[in-house]
Amino acid sequence: MNRRSISTPSRTKEILEQYGLRAKKNFGQNFLVDPQIVERCAQMSHCEGAVIEIGPGIGGLTEQLAKNSKHVTAYEIDENLIPVLKDVLSDYDNVEILLQDFMECDLDQKVKELEETYGSVAVCANLPYYITTPVLFRVFECPSISYITVMVQKEVGDRFAAKPSDPEYSALSAEGQYLFDVKKLFTVPGRSFNPSPNVDSVIIQFSRKDTSLSKEDLKAFFDLVRGCFKQRRKTIYNNLREYLQDADRAKEVLEKAGIDGSQRAQQLSVDNLRKIYEELA
């Protein structure tokens, strides 16, 4: 049967009515109702092996991922959506729907299994806005996931993509860009969602770089980065002095790293932050 895409406004409305559903604010539910955007997002996501989706909702993006990928694993927290997803996606035998809070799943184990069976694992999702950053950092920690393509609120996308000296440049930008090339793919207006949020969203793509730090070293590096950005108006010297609780050591480390201590962290490239970390290590 040639059905309309789930993400057309009319089909989404029908599904919501048929199952007596309302978007739940506490789960960050805003369903995408723009088939072109959903198709483009899936097609650009490098999902040809296996793909993990966080929050399939009523399956609009899941359907397009299923068309482009060998296997889709979708984690959904809302139990009321599970029968809907099983029903609307019943034509696809490559979709696995899991009723689970993504923050509590055993991601390493799942990625290992998927990689062994399908060769590669990507992430593609329209993320619930209330846990965007923790979800992303969970995924960042899985080195086998090379591509992450996500819809986030524009403000969050701007922070991840900001360059040194941009007003939005922060610890988040530096951490993300240490691990990934970060690209904004396109903007999605509020009217492309049901219900429409007041803000625009953006689709960003993280493409993993080759980095050498182990999980533990990475945590230590990110701790240092957060320390350097702790008080944005203070100089890097002052923030580092507080982070290390040692003024002489802070001065010495900055000198050895060749960094002018009177700058603010906001002016430092990811490479400069890494130099500070290496001097400390």
Here the tokens at position 267 are: 């002016």
CA distance 105 to 59: 20
Q: Which is nearer to ligand SAM, 191 or 209 (CB)?
A: 191
Q: Which stretch binds ligand SAM (CB under 6 A): 28-36, 180-188, 220-228, 257-265?
A: 28-36
Tell me which of 102, 147, 180, 229 binds ligand SAM, using CB under 6 A: 102
Contacts of 143 (CB under 8 A, 6+ apart): 208
**Backbone φ and ψ of 130, nearest 5°:** -75, -15
Is residue 35 within the footprint of ligand SAM (CB under 6 A)?
no
Query: Among residues 50, 51, 77, 152, which is the contact residue for ligand SAM, using CB under 6 A?
Result: 77
Q: Least CB distance from residue 21 to ligand SAM, whole Å?
A: 10
User: What type of residue sits at position 260?
Assistant: D
- Pick 32 or 139: Cβ nearer ligand SAM: 32
Can residue 103 be called a binding residue for ligand SAM (CB under 6 A)?
yes
Quote the least distance from Cβ 98 to ligand SAM, whole Å.
Answer: 9
Helices vs. strands in the chain: H and E counts, helices first: 12, 9
Site pattern 117..156 for ligand SAM (x: CB under 6 A): ---------x-x--x-------------------------
- Short-list 37, 40, 39, CA closest to 64: 39
Count of positions on this chain that bind ligand SAM (CB under 6 A): 22
Residue 263: HSE in the Cβ half-sphere, 13 Å Cα cutoff: 15
Can residue 30 be called a binding residue for ligand SAM (CB under 6 A)?
yes
Q: Where are the alpha helices (DSSP H) in the chain?
A: 9-18, 35-43, 60-68, 82-88, 107-118, 132-140, 154-161, 171-179, 215-228, 236-244, 247-256, 270-280
- Exposed, middle or buried by CB within 10 Å (0-12, 13-18, 19+), for 240? buried
One residue of 37, 65, 72, 76 binding ligand SAM per CB under 6 A? 76
Nearer to ligand SAM, 55 or 176 (CB): 55
Judged by CB under 6 A, the chain residues 218 through 277 that form the site for ligand SAM are none
Q: Which is nearer to ligand SAM, 109 or 214 (CB)?
A: 109
Q: Which residues pair with 126 in a beta bridge?
A: 151
Q: Which residues bind ligand SAM (CB under 6 A)?
A: 27-32, 54-57, 60-61, 75-78, 101-103, 126, 128, 131
